[in-house]
Structure 1
Amino acid sequence: MSVGSNAPVIIKGKKVIAGEGHHGGAWKVAYADFVTAMMAFFMLMWLLNATTEKQRKGIADYFSPTIPLNRISGGGDGTLGGDSVFTEETLAQNGIGATNRHAAPGKPGSPGIPVTAGADKDKGLEGIEEMLLGSGGESMSMQNAFRHVVTRISDEGLVIELFAPEGEPLFAAGGATPAPLLEDLVSVIGRVFSLTTNDIAVKGFSRSHAIVLAENPVWDHSLSRAEAVRLMLGDAVGEDRIERVAGYADRHPAVPNPMSMRNDRLEIVLLRVEPEY
């Protein structure tokens, strides 16, 4: 090629990339969440292994929304500020209790005040019902025990029905000796009822038995079992608060099958108190 040739000059350029592009950091967030979850899991395993049953119960109560952390106000204001249903201001306004420091008029030796009927006649009973059902969340054993409990509010008052499903009797077979399960339930009920001064009624019901029996035990069972519960409640709230004890035999079955174990039941009634005018 001669020097004076008009051939084009081709210049080849090379693009140099200084480094890799940014791929995003989502994987870092996911990895951090995984590490945090694993740390929480191992901390939980360590706590379960290093704490006693009583300490574990305290930890569970702390995270339970149905159990107040403090029986007095937490120092704040409003629902999330620390107010507790057990404070004197709340209980006294709802008409369901008071403390020994400012005990309201009632029967001698009783720290509570009566739940009266009135414009908001069910408000106080509903408060007692909530406290009772909230007590059932204290431990796994009490949660299982409260499967035997049904509550309702009637014209008579707050009715707490204790029943015996198949295979889980409340009394020793054929007798009136309370099972440990029933003792635990009555203990919780007595503790909640001690916040009031209302009288209490105890009713016993029995399932039907085969007509071939020489002596039908339904009357004896219903009355003797109600009497056993009366004695247990009397220890918790005082004998003077038990207004009546009754046995209804098999006259009011809870389910259509009269011989079902579900008909072996008790009703503990927190009776209404009519307001004084």
Structure 2
Amino acid sequence: MGAGSNAPIIIKRKKVIAGGGHHGGAWKVAYADFVTAMMAFFMLMWLLNATTEQQRKGIADYFSPTIPLVRVSGGGSGSFGGDNIFTQEQLAQSGRGINQPTIGDEPVTAEQAAADAAAAAQVAALRDIEETLMGIGGESMLSEQALRHIVTRLTDEGLVIDIFDLPDATLFPPNSAEPNPVTVEVARILASLFQSVSNDVAITGHLRAQSVVRIDNPIWTLSTERASQMRQLIVDGGLSPMRIARQTGAGDRNPAVRDPTAPRNNRLEVILLRSDI
């Protein structure tokens, strides 16, 4: 190019973006998600280690969807509460929930409505007993030591109260039907609670299986004797003997856990029976 040329001079500047452009901070978001997940994991491990079986059941129930135990769940106004006290499902928009009669179905009679209301009252009463016993929403009537031995559940038969051995604490001495102090305490509290309702009571004794098969196996006699001892303790606590509907010994035929020889299978099952079935 000649010295007298008037051509423009073009300067190119290359723009450098540090950190890889818009991807520069993505790892921070991924790392934050990872740390959050690890915190949640370690919190779960801590809860599993620091809580009892019944406390874990309560936590699980808290996060479980609410499912009505019976068809009647109460009423209230509005589309989310049902329009009368005989609403059969929660979140019902009509008085009969999902069981609303179709064409050709018979309407709900006054007798059926009364039976449904009675069933709802029965479940509510059993639930109150369970909450008082386990200290749900308040302080339990049982000591912390005794509470470790108990798990409850509501079934179609009634309120089932499982009282079981722990590896470091038993309900009875080995091969004996003489109750330990914790068993006496539980029986006394049950007798007091059961007097607030009129339901009958059923008691079943269970034992773990023996690792060695014995010709003269005492499990049937011992499980029956332990059930009888619990019955006597509850009656001594003030419950009318006429309210004991049955007392049985199931031996090792109905284990509570997969391992039939586990101490958890040594247990007493006390059922507060529903009176509406």
- TM-score normalised to the size of structure 2? 0.54
* 1:54-94 CA-partner distances (Å, limit 9, x unpaired): xxxxxxxxxxxxxxxxxxxxxxxxxxxxxxxxxxxxxxxxx
Where do 5+ consecutive residues of structure 1 fail to align?
A: 1-115
Counterpart position of 2:143: 142
Counterpart position of 2:66: none
Q: Is the 8 A contact 2:122 2:276 kept in 1?
A: no
| Matched residue SS, 1:162 | strand
- One-letter amino acid matched to 1:273: S
Counterpart position of 1:31: none
Counterpart position of 2:169: 168
Distance 2:139 2:226 in 1: 26
Where do 5+ consecutive residues of structure 2 fail to align?
A: 1-116
Counterpart position of 1:64: none
Q: Is the 8 A contact 1:200 1:243 kept in 2?
A: yes
Does structure 1 residue 124 correspond to structure 2 residue 132?
A: no
- One-letter amino acid matched to 1:272: R
Deviation at 1:167, TM superposition (A): 2.4
Length, aligned pairs only: 159
Larger relative contact order, structure 1 or 2 (CA cutoff 8 Å, min sep 6): 1
Q: Find runs of 4+ consecutive structure 1 residues off by over 4 angstroms.
A: none
Does structure 1 residue 263 correspond to structure 2 residue 275?
A: no
Counterpart position of 2:70: none
Structure 1, 164-173 or 224-233: larger mean CA deviation:
164-173
Counterpart position of 1:179: 180
Q: Is the 8 A contact 1:178 1:228 kept in 2?
A: yes
Structure 1 vs Structure 2 CA RMSD = 2.1
- TM-score normalised to the size of structure 1? 0.54
Deviation at 1:218, TM superposition (A): 1.4
Does structure 1 residue 244 correspond to structure 2 residue 246?
A: yes
Deviation at 1:208, TM superposition (A): 0.4
Q: Is the 8 A contact 1:163 1:264 kept in 2?
A: yes
Q: Is the 8 A contact 1:137 1:143 kept in 2?
A: no
Counterpart position of 1:37: none
Counterpart position of 1:274: 276
Tell me which structure has the larger Cα radius of gyration.
1
Identity of aligned pairs, percent? Answer: 38
Deviation at 1:120, TM superposition (A): 4.5
Q: How has the CA–CA distance of structure 1 residues 119 and 191 changed in structure 2, closer, same or farther, with 3 Å as cutoff?
A: closer
Q: Is the 8 A contact 2:199 2:273 kept in 1?
A: yes
| Matched residue SS, 1:274 | coil
